[in-house]
Chain A
Amino acid sequence: AQKITQTQPGMFVQEKEAVTLDCTYDTSDPSYGLFWYKQPSSGEMIFLIYQGSYDQQNATEGRYSLNFQKARKSANLVISASQLGDSAMYFCAMREGEGQGFSFIFGKGTRLLVKP
């Protein structure tokens, strides 16, 4: 069965510093996709970044990068130059199912607090 593990319930980071949020996953499927979502207090899930299992390069999207270590089954999110607005819950997720009709398996999340 597929599984996502986030071992950090909460993290603090000083504004303008970088922070790494950990995520490990388990799947027997050779083809999979890994996602990170941000959930502010308003509740909506905001897509941040995606990594495909066959992608050779680590994904980057602006200040977000994904440190993908396939052999270790880890997909850590790195946020550079943290901003106060980055304070939120962050969820690592794996896509389950093929093509357009897929659902997600989410981890328990990490609450990030950016200090001024």
Chain B
Amino acid sequence: DTGVSQDPRHKITKRGQNVTFRCDPISEHNRLYWYRQTLGQGPEFLTYFQNEAQLEKSRLLSDRFSAERPKGSFSTLEIQRTEQGDSAMYLCASSSFSGQGVNYGYTFGSGTRLTVV
């Protein structure tokens, strides 16, 4: 297993366009998380899934954001009508229900860096 994969690594889009990011978690991990990291800040939690169920959403996740995990494997994060304030690194993480140490094997991907121009 190569860890948590995110695609694309970089995305430049024009304001008002829609973008979609993909995250492939570690295969045996049933929990998947999305975070957003703006310049000079630590990551901020957006949402998480257990299998295909979206169990929690942060207030940061506006109506223009939607996340899915249709078969409990990979997940997509879509941003509609992008704004310049959406420019950030979007990090995905996954963890194991069965528990691997104190962080349950919580593993982050390398992120998708979005630039809205």
- Stretch in A39-47, A67-75, A78-86 touching the partner: A39-47
| B16 within 8 Å of A (CB atoms) | no
Interface flags for A82-116 (1: CB within 8 Å of B; 0: not) read 00000000010100100011011111110000000
Residues of A within 8 A of B (CB): 4, 33, 35, 37, 42-47, 50, 52, 91, 93, 96, 100-101, 103-109
Which B residues lie within 8 Å of A103 (CB)?
33, 45, 48, 56
Give the CA-CA distance A78 to B23 in the complex, in Å.
33
Select which of B56, B96, B103 is within 8 A of A47 by beta carbon. B103
Which B residues lie within 8 Å of A44 (CB)?
108-111
| B42 within 8 Å of A (CB atoms) | yes
Given contacts A35-B103, A44-B108, A52-B102, contact A100 B95 (CB under 8 A): yes
Select which of A46, A96, A108 is within 8 A of B41 by beta carbon. A108
CB distance A45 to B43 under 8 Å? yes
CB distance B41 to A100 under 8 Å? no
Give 17 A-B pairs besides A93-B42, A104-B43 with Cβ atoms closer than 8 angstroms: A44-B109, A44-B110, A46-B108, A47-B106, A47-B107, A50-B102, A91-B42, A100-B97, A100-B99, A101-B50, A101-B56, A103-B45, A105-B45, A106-B42, A108-B40, A108-B41, A109-B42
CB distance A43 to B113 under 8 Å? yes
Select which of A50, A106, A108 is within 8 A of B103 by beta carbon. A50
